[in-house]
Structure 1
Amino acid sequence: MTAAEPRGTGLETALWRAVAVYRGLALGYAAVVIAMNHGGYAHPFGGWAVLAVMAGWTGYASFAFGPAAFASTGRARRGRPLLAADLAVAAGCVLATAWVEASGNIAAGRPTLPVSWVAAAVLSWAVAGGRRAGVAAAAVLAAANLMVHAVAGTSGGIGGTTFNGIVLLFLAGLVVGHVVRLAREAEARLARAVELEAATRERERLARRIHDSVLQVLAMVQRRGGELGGEAAELGRLAGEQEAALRALVGAGPAVPPADASGAGTDLRPLLAGHASTSVTVSTPATEVRLPAHAAGEVEAAVAAALDNVRRHCGEGARAWVLLEDGEGEVTVSVRDDGPGVPPGRLDRAAADGRLGVAQSIRGRIADLGGTVSIVSGEGDGTEVEMTVPRARV
């Protein structure tokens, strides 16, 4: 299953098909039990009527929960109304036992009319909603089993068969729901691994082409510009910066989609690595630093604004360092340069004069994310802009 496929076309289809198979097999078992016991029923034809309802619902549910219905109507077809109807039919068939079956047989521990067929409803809820949904469905059917004994007026309480059946329902809901959740997580990780592998192959192909053409031309321009001097030297310097940035981009690792299937967000490292050049050094952790896509974009834009200030105010020979730190509950990005520094009060005067580059491009963006910005500078000591964004607010 790829990221572009709707959820429900791979693993989920197989799960619903397995539930349909179980429902059909359990229907056959219920038919055998009813055929064997109908002679002792208080209302024998009632047993066949319940079996007919079960058969009809089995056919409809196999279609409604199946891949054909999903393809035509989407996941909403398997939503709460259908799941509620499935559970209601199962509970109704259990409750019908109190009318069809003789009280003495119920007291003796004879199983309910649908026997294990009702577990299909628990499995459906577990597949659709996980452990909690599966356990909730099991609780409804357990209550229906207890009501059968209450209506029949059995004085000895529930028998061992009924108790075991209730326990198995809860176990089915709990275990199947847990396994389904693990399987979906594994499928999401597999899909992501496939995407990363494809992205890596594409990056390697592009890297070979770029190395054979663009990088070699930029390196030649840098070398010849330095030899010629004058305006050509400046052109060579710019070519060298672009070569370094392009090499960093090519070697930064596989392209990562903005958000993976589990909604983990965007890795901030590749965004910041794109600003690396001969005059800008970018340092990031070895592991992913993920933020929501919007927050990651705003942080990257604030870093770009800080580097733009370095280029405009610190001169051609100034260097800058970008450091990304992944703390517990927060992400910190600092931009430091070796320029002349900012004189005291200059930022306040710039804001008063209407020049809002730092106030809006940096402080404003980070403040909107619930973060803080600290600017430390002194004349001749360079400037450091530290931006901290708490994860809880992004």
Structure 2
Amino acid sequence: MSVELPLWRALTGYRVLTLVYTLCLVALSYRKYEHPLVAVGYMGALTVWMALTWRRTTSPERCTRHFLIADLGFAVGGILLTLLVDSRARIMDGAPTLPSIWAAGAVLGFAIKGGWRWAAVASSAVAVANLVVRQELARDTIHNVVLVWVASVAIGYVVEVARASERTLARALQIEAATRERERLARDIHDSVLQVLAMVQRRGAAIGGEAAELGRMAGEQEVALRTLVAGGLVPPARPGTARPVPHEADGDGEARSVPYDEGAAGRAAASGSVPSAAAGEPCDVRALLAPHAGAGVTFSEPGAPVVLPAAAAAELAAAVSAALDNVRVHAGAGAHAWILVEDEPHAVIVTVRDDGPGIPEGRLADAEREGRLGVALSIRGRLRDLGGSAEWVSVPGQGAEVELTVPKGAAPEGGKRGKATA
């Protein structure tokens, strides 16, 4: 993700290429110098310096402040040494200095390492050295000085902006990862702890006596825990947390005080047939959903295995279980539900439909704004983490239908993220 690394590589290439160019210039002007041996000596020292330090500009860790100062010293020293090597006439005619355009590489190193302020200081030092050599404000001298100064400051500013953007992106990715972990933990709590607390509250109220006080305390803890989870203050959970307790929840996510019923999905989980989220082997979705079939649930499946990664299959089965719980609570004991499994080329689609009264318009959105967890996390959150979607269709008086789509190869916390619509 580093924005700087390509810049450092480009600087290394620039220094090498400009050294070759400068050596060619000195070779072509050898006979024109007043003291050619001094020019050869400087170029030899510069070549040795480059051979010993070329790796210094390949990464920000290697390019230290001391190296940059020494590199700038070679550039400024070479510019000033031109007064001794070349004739006054050639200098005034615009002959290049000894380091020529190689000197810009030292300035660019300051720009990439320290930003525009460092670049301004380094380019000013090079500018002063060039003005001392020319001893007058010639047009071409001013042009070159301004060009180096503006280019280095601009590159330094761009580097600072890129670093700030990189830090912002890293922070955003950390927040996104933490949010997804919190949502997954919230689903676990909703599917287990909150349901048990609701059951304890109902049973305690029915028994009376000291049990009633215990039920009241359980109800208070349920409200406090629900508020904590909805507010996003729960620390992240370990990946692959199992969902051990079957649940009863209403369609808007609020835990209801209904009799605890270890249904087909619960028996499957208790028997160990539901794979853990850490399992990586393929799993037939039909084997996880078939136990739901019964007098009130019709299960339709393809004739061939419907394969998903075990973790994705477990998440999909848990979402279907939550949808059936909503049917039992809202549509009533006499309602009938249908489960349809479709194996598409790139995705597995499971549709859960019932013949109940349907979901009032806007009820799902209202429940999510109120911080209720059933649909928002137990169904929609699971599918979103798999890169899939959960889509509801409901007509008052004609039942409700939820279509759960999981892309093949999906696994919790992996793959691309999908959208979930209601």
Normalised to the residue count of structure 1, the TM-score between the two structures is 0.55
The answer as to 2:195 corresponding to 1:210 is no
2:79 counterpart letter in structure 1: V
In structure 2, distance between residues paired with 1:255 and 1:190 = 23
In structure 2, distance between residues paired with 1:107 and 1:134 = 27
2:80 counterpart letter in structure 1: L
1:110 to partner: Cα distance: 1.4
Q: 1:161 corresponds to which residue?
A: 140
Q: 2:24 corresponds to which residue?
A: 32
Q: 1:52 corresponds to which residue?
A: 44
Change (3 A) 1:161 1:61: farther
Q: What is the CA deviation profile of residues 278-302 of structure 1, one whole-angstrom value per residue up to 9, with x for unaligned ones?
A: xxxxxxxxxxxxxxxxxxxxxxxxx
Normalised to the residue count of structure 2, the TM-score between the two structures is 0.51
Asked if the contact 1:133–1:173 (Cα under 8 Å) also holds between the matched residues in 2, the reply is: no
Change (3 A) 1:91 1:196: same
Does 207-216 or 244-253 show the bigger shift?
244-253
In structure 2, distance between residues paired with 1:47 and 1:119 = 19
Gaps of at least 5 residues in structure 2 are 237-422
The answer as to 2:213 corresponding to 1:221 is no
Change (3 A) 1:160 1:137: same
The 3-state SS of whatever aligns with 1:62 is: helix
Q: Matched residue pairs, number?
A: 236
1:254 to partner: Cα distance: 8.8
The answer as to 2:83 corresponding to 1:91 is no
In structure 1, distance between residues paired with 2:154 and 2:148 = 10
1:255 to partner: Cα distance: 7.9
1:256 to partner: Cα distance: 9.5
The 3-state SS of whatever aligns with 2:95 is: coil
Q: What is the CA deviation profile of residues 24-63 of structure 1, one whole-angstrom value per residue up to 9, with x for unaligned ones?
A: 1221222222222222111123222222222222233322
- Bigger Cα Rg: 2
Q: What pairs with 1:1-394 in structure 2 (closer than 5 Å)? A: 1=1, 10-67=2-59, 75=61, 78-150=63-135, 157-253=136-232
Asked if the contact 2:182–2:235 (Cα under 8 Å) also holds between the matched residues in 1, the reply is: no
1:118 to partner: Cα distance: 0.8
1:171 to partner: Cα distance: 0.9
Q: What is the CA deviation profile of residues 173-203 of structure 1, one whole-angstrom value per residue up to 9, with x for unaligned ones?
A: 2101100001101111221222223223322
In structure 1, distance between residues paired with 2:23 and 2:224 = 72
2:81 counterpart letter in structure 1: A
In structure 1, distance between residues paired with 2:224 and 2:79 = 70
Q: 1:269 corresponds to which residue?
A: none
1:63 counterpart letter in structure 2: R
Asked if the contact 1:30–1:113 (Cα under 8 Å) also holds between the matched residues in 2, the reply is: yes
Q: 2:371 corresponds to which residue?
A: none
Does 231-240 or 133-142 show the bigger shift?
231-240
Change (3 A) 1:238 1:112: farther
The 3-state SS of whatever aligns with 2:173 is: helix
In structure 2, distance between residues paired with 1:256 and 1:130 = 38
1:253 to partner: Cα distance: 4.5
Q: What is the CA deviation profile of residues 286-329 of structure 1, one whole-angstrom value per residue up to 9, with x for unaligned ones?
A: xxxxxxxxxxxxxxxxxxxxxxxxxxxxxxxxxxxxxxxxxxxx
Change (3 A) 1:37 1:11: same
2:182 counterpart letter in structure 1: R
1:135 counterpart letter in structure 2: A
RMSD of equivalent CA atoms: 2.4
Change (3 A) 1:253 1:55: farther
Asked if the contact 1:122–1:138 (Cα under 8 Å) also holds between the matched residues in 2, the reply is: yes
User: What fraction of aligned residue pairs are identical, expressed as a percent?
Assistant: 47
1:208 to partner: Cα distance: 2.3
In structure 2, distance between residues paired with 1:94 and 1:228 = 96
Asked if the contact 2:108–2:119 (Cα under 8 Å) also holds between the matched residues in 1, the reply is: yes
Does 41-50 or 133-142 show the bigger shift?
41-50
Gaps of at least 5 residues in structure 1 are 2-9, 151-156, 258-394
In structure 2, distance between residues paired with 1:256 and 1:45 = 71
In structure 2, distance between residues paired with 1:216 and 1:171 = 66
The 3-state SS of whatever aligns with 1:78 is: coil
In structure 1, distance between residues paired with 2:234 and 2:82 = 60
In structure 2, distance between residues paired with 1:169 and 1:11 = 22
1:36 counterpart letter in structure 2: L
In structure 2, distance between residues paired with 1:41 and 1:135 = 32
1:104 to partner: Cα distance: 0.6
In structure 1, distance between residues paired with 2:228 and 2:70 = 54
Q: What is the CA deviation profile of residues 324-345 of structure 1, one whole-angstrom value per residue up to 9, with x for unaligned ones?
A: xxxxxxxxxxxxxxxxxxxxxx
Asked if the contact 2:116–2:152 (Cα under 8 Å) also holds between the matched residues in 1, the reply is: yes
Change (3 A) 1:100 1:195: same
1:12 counterpart letter in structure 2: E
